[in-house]
């Protein structure tokens, strides 16, 4: 079903381009309505297996890239990707589906950064994956930018080297331990960036299972909202 809908979308996109080139406004409007309806169906479709999960996310990533000059479209498609990420990772959104009779396993076997990029690099939030040893397995560009570093600087780095030891011991580590034990954790805090701008942060931690179903880390998603400038 998913592949058929995507193929239908590509056909309609070609028809839309042809109609626009011949300046047929009536046809453009009609085809665009069909495309928007199809996008809605694609966003609501529940994947049947892991390959469809990533194909579904990749579809909206391609739309975001195609429309990279249109800020509103990019926001729309990244939001749809984020909704899909929540659907397959967050139990509060009715996630944990049974996929073809198997226990819920939202990631492919082993850790594959190229696969995770499909979902994580385009999210508007700061995202990291922390292993059981409290070291970074993955860091998206938005999170690296906040720390004024490159994503590659994080891989293998202990979390306590990026935040002070007090915050690690009293805030991050206890909640990561809960997540490593299988809990879905959510909490809020405030933080200032390198320029002194103050942000309110909503943190979500989701257990990350390995190929054998055992938890191998935590997916950490940080949503930030600017508050006010810190007074020197």
* pLDDT tens profile 20-59: 988 888 999 999 899 889 888 888 888 877 677 777 877 8
Report the C-alpha gap between 124 and 142 in whole angstroms. 7
> What pLDDT does 106 receive?
38
Query: What's residue 113's pLDDT?
Result: 43
* CB 176 within 8 Å of CB 134: yes
Q: State CA 113 to chain mean position distance.
A: 13
| pLDDT of 212 | 65
Max distance between CA atoms of the chain, in angstroms, equals 65
Lookup result for tokens 């990291």: 128
Tokens, residue 21: 């080139």
* Spans of all domains in the chain: 125-232
Q: Is the pTM value of this prediction over 0.85?
A: no
Pick out the chain residues at pLDDT < 50. Answer: 90-116, 229-232
C-beta neighbour count of 171 within 10 angstroms: 14
Q: Which of 171-178's residues contact partners 24+ apart within 8 Å by CB, and which partners?
A: 173/134, 175/203, 175/205, 176/130, 176/134, 176/205, 176/218, 178/205
Please list the residues that pair with 217 across neighbouring strands: 131, 208
Q: Name the one residue in this structure whose structure tokens are 């309505």.
A: 33
**Tokens, residue 80:** 């749809």
For residues 189 and 203, the answer to whether their CB atoms sit within 8 Å is: yes
Task: Give pLDDT, residue 227.
Answer: 64
Tokens encoding 91: 């139990």
Helix (H) or strand (E) segment spanning residue 199 = strand 197-209
The correct CATH number of 125-232 out of 3.30.450.40, 3.40.50.300, 3.30.450.20, 1.10.10.10 is: 3.30.450.20
């Amino acid at each position: 079903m998913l592949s058929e809908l995507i193929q239908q979308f590509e056909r309609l996109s070609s028809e839309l381009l042809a109609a626009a080139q011949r300046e047929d406004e009536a046809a453009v409007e009609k085809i665009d309505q069909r495309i928007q309806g199809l996008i809605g169906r694609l966003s609501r479709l529940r994947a049947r297996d892991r390959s469809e999960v990533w194909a579904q996310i990749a579809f909206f990533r391609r739309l975001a890239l195609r429309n990279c000059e249109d800020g509103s479209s990019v926001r729309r498609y990244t939001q749809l990707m984020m909704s899909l990420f929540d659907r397959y990772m967050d139990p509060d959104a009715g996630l944990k589906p049974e996929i073809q009779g198997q226990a819920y396993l939202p990631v492919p076997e082993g850790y594959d950064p190229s696969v995770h990029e499909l979902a994580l690099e385009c999210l508007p939030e700061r995202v990291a994956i922390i292993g059981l040893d409290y070291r970074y397995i993955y860091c998206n560009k938005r999170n690296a930018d906040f720390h004024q570093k490159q994503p590659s600087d994080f891989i293998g780095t202990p979390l306590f080297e990026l935040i002070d030891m007090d915050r690690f011991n009293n805030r991050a580590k206890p909640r990561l331990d809960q997540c490593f034990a299988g809990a879905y954790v959510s909490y809020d805090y405030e933080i200032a960036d390198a320029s002194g701008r103050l942000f309110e942060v909503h943190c979500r931690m989701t257990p990350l299972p390995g190929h054998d179903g055992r938890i191998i880390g935590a997916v950490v998603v940080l949503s930030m909202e600017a508050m006010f400038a810190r007074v020197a």
